[in-house]
Structure formats: C-alpha cells, structure tokens
Amino acid sequence: MNSIMNKNMTDRELEVLNYVVQGMTNLEIAEKLMITHHTVKAHIASILRKMGVKNRLSAALLATKKGIINLHQG
C-alpha cells in the first residue's frame, strides 16, 4: 500500500474507496455501509482531494496502480 496516501485517509475512506474500485454506485455503497448517500459523497470528495484526482475513475485506477486497494482481496 502507498503509505503517503494511506496515512491521510481514514479507515472509512479506504472502505469507500474499495467499493468505488469494485464499481459500486454511491447508493450501493451507502446501503452496504448503512450510511446516507450524502455521507458517501462527502467521503468520495475527501478521497479525491487527498489523492489529487478529479473523478472516481481516476481514484480507482490510481488506487489499484499504487496498491492502495487490491482487486484480488477476498
């Protein structure tokens, strides 16, 4: 995992990022985590800012490239 990015991300943000990488929508993530879709949007906005990317696709690609999220986990 990329320690520079991980150091700044919360456990919840990493959890949300994992679901983004899996291709889940904000509503699906909200249902899975039992939070509102507004909260998911806030987490994603924070993730994008911390990763220095402009959209969720770029975040997902960078997360897999840098090993932040492992596509082959369970």
- Domain count within the chain: 1
Domain that holds residue 41: 3-65
Q: Is residue 45 part of a domain?
A: yes
Q: Is residue 22 part of a domain?
A: yes
Q: Is residue 72 part of a domain?
A: no
Q: Is residue 36 part of a domain?
A: yes
Q: What are phi and psi of 16, to 5 degrees?
A: -65, -45
Q: Is residue 71 part of a domain?
A: no
Q: Taking all residues of the chain, what is their mean pLDDT, rounded to a whole number?
A: 89
Helices 11-21 and 56-65: crossing angle in degrees, nearest 10, is 100
pTM (2 decimals)? Answer: 0.86
Q: What are phi and psi of 35, to 5 degrees?
A: -130, 170
Q: Is residue 57 part of a domain?
A: yes
Q: Is residue 25 part of a domain?
A: yes
CATH code, domain carrying 44: 1.10.10.10
* pLDDT level of residue 34 (50, 70, 90 thresholds): very high
- Predicted confidence at residue 5, as pLDDT, reads 58
